[in-house]
Amino acid sequence: MAKPRRGDVVDVKISMVDEKGQGVGQLDDYTVRVRGGIPGDFLRGYIRKIRHGIREIEVRKTEVLGVETERIEARCEHFGVCGGCVWQDVVYADQIEIKRGLVQNCLGQYGVDVKFDQPLVMDGSFFYRNKMEFSFGTSKEGSVDLGLHVPGRFDHVFDLNACFLQSELSNEIVAYVRDFVRTRNLSVYHLKQHEGLFRFLTIREGKNTDETMVILTTSGDDFSGAQELSDGLREMFPRVQCVIHSINRRKAQVAFGDDEIALTERDHILEKLGRFTFEISPSSFFQTNTHQAEKLYERVVALAESQRDDRVLDLYCGMGGISFFLSEHVNQVLGIEVSDAAIQDATRNCARNNITNCAFMAGQTEDLLGQLAEQSERFDLVVTDPPRMGMHPKALKALIGLRPKKIIYVSCNPHALGRDLKVLLEAGYGVDYGQLVDMFPHTPHCEVLIRLIDLQ
């Protein structure tokens, strides 16, 4: 074919999906990516972007010429406009197979071959999120919008009628807050002019406790109606136990501000996982899918096959969920996490649950691991649940230096997982178990559980 140009109409057969959920195909020596494409699709669209240097094309789908995986009607009216769900028109069982192929393709790029157990799937594919952030915007007509972002447009928010990923209560809260802002003619923050009041609405829910937190993020402008809004939310929705006014005076478009003001007696909500109760503050990290997180932690415990006198190291431990679940089966757990706030959460929740054999250290994982290796510390099991970029190379090297008998790797990024597994396999470890854990139906995201054993 002739050298592709922006605006050209092309036909492409999708052979796989990438980690962002985009369909991937080939046109001569150019890699083509199409949002909404899945393996077996034959699609027509026009070229939106070309990156000649890396021989890559981005295509906007305009017509479906053929499919191998049948489609269903998406439940959400915003499907295709919203940047969240990409596979809501695909049967859930088929979504799982696509994710399995995605993970295996990513690992295969690093020469890693894993035989996977049956996926750990959800009983239902909607209303699973315990946290969502909604953005304020202004329509072309000048009215206040409150919703989610259009794909690829940080400055374009569509007005949300209903999202089926969090809860029906969440949709009602969104509508209530939007009506409050509109009827009082309150302003919305402008991303370019950097003026206006309302920026974000965040809703956090305790799925097992029915407790709800509402966080209103504004600019530094005066919000004299904050208490009125809080009182109205509490009266209308009894499950709302906590309302926080978060003030972000910076230009950065983030939902957590410099100051947090509790507008209710409570400044946190409670959630339960297994027998453990967790106190969740506005900035606490907590797995977004409560019910699947509980299953994930139980699988970690089962794969650990721990002995009562074992010492366990929990890397990137967050607020201590995996540590707590393991604590009942081992002698000692040491958790490491870079966030001081997360360590404070973990320590506080340790006391709340009367756990006496967990300790936590705050700092860069690569630094603290190096110190433990220098001190000749020994651990029978290391659990690592790193952020999307995977483990820091120095942390990986230090982990190998500690030489635990078993490593359980929990990954949310199969590319980073493949890269790190390659290093661990070259260091004499072997993978003896793998499982996909679906945490985010209708999206390409999932967790992958890997167990490695020392072969030396």
Catalytic residue IDs = 412
Cα–Cα distance for residue pair 68/214, rounded to 1 Å:
43
Query: Would you state the structure tokens that stand for residue 64, as one six-digit string?
Result: 């479906």
Report angle CA 438, 439, 441 to the nearest 5 degrees: 75
Q: From CA 436, how far away is CA 103, in angstroms rounded?
A: 8
Length of the chain: 456
Residues 389, 78: Cα–Cα separation, whole Å: 30
* Cβ-count burial 343-359 (b if 16+ within 10 Å, e if not): bebbbbbbeebebebbe
3-state SS, the chain, equals CCCCCCCCEEEEEEEEECCCCCEEEEECCEEEEECCCCCCCEEEEEEEEEEHHHCEEEEEEEEEEECCCCECCCCCCCCCCCCCCCCCCECHHHHHHHHHHHHHHHHHCCCCCCCCCCCECCCCCCCCECEEEEEEEECCCCCEEEEEECCCCCCCEEECCCCCCCCHHHHHHHHHHHHHHHHCCCCECECCCCECCEEEEEEEECCCCCCEEEEEEECCCCCCCHHHHHHHHHHHCCCEEEEEEEECCCCCCCCCCCEEEECCCCCCEEEEECCEEEEECCCCCCCCEHHHHHHHHHHHHHHHCCCCCCEEEEECCCCCHHHHHHHCCCCEEEEEECCHHHHHHHHHHHHHCCCCCEEEEECCHHHHHHHHHHCCCCCCEEEECCCCCCCCHHHHHHHHHHCCCEEEEEECCHHHHHHHHHHHHHCCEEEEEEEEECCCCCCCCCEEEEEEEECC
Nearest residue to 215 via CA among 224, 226, 206, 228: 226
